[in-house]
């Protein structure tokens, strides 16, 4: 299945629920209809785009508002997380195992995610970068980046809060998490790619299992 197709379907479904044109729905999510469609191989006036390159924080927040769901569910619908990102779970994509298996995995993932939120590591890039250097038995950040094959300039920029990683940086974020032997969500949270607000809905902490299952319940048609 194409990456993020459930997100596309969820936006279409919501536009039908609200009885509005798809163009209006796309605009509410901070896309033009053509730009959004170009991520999914649809006929459009736009050149093809990688969903992760254009799914910015502004758009994640807008989609969350439009779908009336958590930012975390937007990440799930966009296929951002794989089971190995949780580190506690061994399998492949969240969307390629059967529903019976998913019930147990959803419980396990939910438990892990609660621990991530409780750790309160959001927006602490200095901490995660220092831990990365230590975990790779390096003396400097440059040495650690060379060992793991991630961009020193990029990671230094993240550490100093000059820039924040986007979904287009997932490959490097995963390499850092793997080198540290910890779950990707912790690294994403520390670097600011995931935010605490992504785990809130109407100012209340989300029900993790409900959000996991709600993302899986979107049917492609």
| 144-167 residue pLDDT tens | 999 999 999 999 999 999 999 999
Tokens of 152: 């020193």
The enclosing H or E element of 13 equals helix 5-17
CA torsion sign for 57, 73, 110, 104 is negative
User: Token digits for 207?
Assistant: 């029900």
Q: Is 108 helix (H, G, I), strand (E, B) or coil?
A: helix
CB atoms within 10 A of CB 202: 7
Of the pLDDT bands very low, low, confident and very high (cuts 50, 70, 90), residue 1 is: low
- Could you tell me which residues come within 8 angstroms of residue 44 by beta carbon, excluding any fewer than 6 positions away? 33, 34, 35, 37, 38
pLDDT tens across 69-126, in order?
Answer: 999 999 999 999 876 676 544 333 333 344 455 455 667 777 777 777 777 788 889 9
Per-residue b or e along 13-45, where b marks 16 or more CB atoms closer than 10 Å to that residue's CB: bbbeeeeeeeeebbbbbbbebbbbbbbbeeebe
At residue 185's C-alpha, the angle toward residues 138 and 103, to 5°, is: 135
- Measure CA of the first residue to CA of the last residue in the chain; give whole Å: 12
Task: Report whether 5 contacts 53 (CB < 8 A).
Answer: no
How far is residue 133's CA from residue 114's CA, in Å, rounded to a whole number? 26
Confidence of residue 60 (pLDDT cuts 50, 70, 90): very high
Kindly report, residue by residue over 166-195, the tens digit of the pLDDT.
999 999 999 999 998 888 888 999 999 999
Total Cβ atoms within 10 A of residue 133: 19
Specify the higher pLDDT residue, 171 or 44: 171
Sign of the C-alpha dihedral computed for residues 190, 193, 195 and 198 taken in this order: negative
């Amino acid at each position: 299945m194409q990456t993020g197709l459930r997100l596309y379907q969820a936006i279409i479904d919501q536009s039908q629920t609200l009885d509005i044109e798809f163009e209006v729905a796309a605009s509410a999510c901070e896309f033009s209809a053509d730009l959004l469609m170009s991520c999914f191989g649809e006929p459009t006036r736009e050149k093809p785009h990688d969903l992760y390159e254009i799914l910015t924080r502004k758009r994640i927040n807008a989609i969350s508002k439009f779908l009336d769901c958590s930012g975390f569910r937007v990440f799930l619908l966009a296929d951002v997380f794989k089971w190995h990102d949780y580190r506690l779970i061994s399998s492949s994509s969240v969307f390629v195992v059967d529903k019976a298996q998913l019930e147990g995995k959803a419980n396990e993932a939910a438990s892990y995610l609660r621990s991530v939120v409780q750790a309160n590591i959001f927006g602490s890039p200095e901490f995660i970068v220092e831990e990365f250097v230590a975990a790779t038995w390096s003396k400097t950040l440059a040495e650690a980046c060379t060992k793991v094959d991630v961009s020193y300039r990029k990671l230094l920029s993240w550490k100093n809060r000059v820039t924040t990683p986007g979904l287009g940086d997932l490959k490097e974020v995963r390499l850092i998490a793997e080198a540290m032997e910890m779950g990707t969500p912790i690294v994403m949270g520390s670097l600011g790619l995931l935010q605490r607000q992504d785990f809130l809905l109407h100012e209340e902490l989300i029900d993790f299992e409900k959000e996991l299952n709600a993302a899986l319940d979107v049917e492609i048609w």
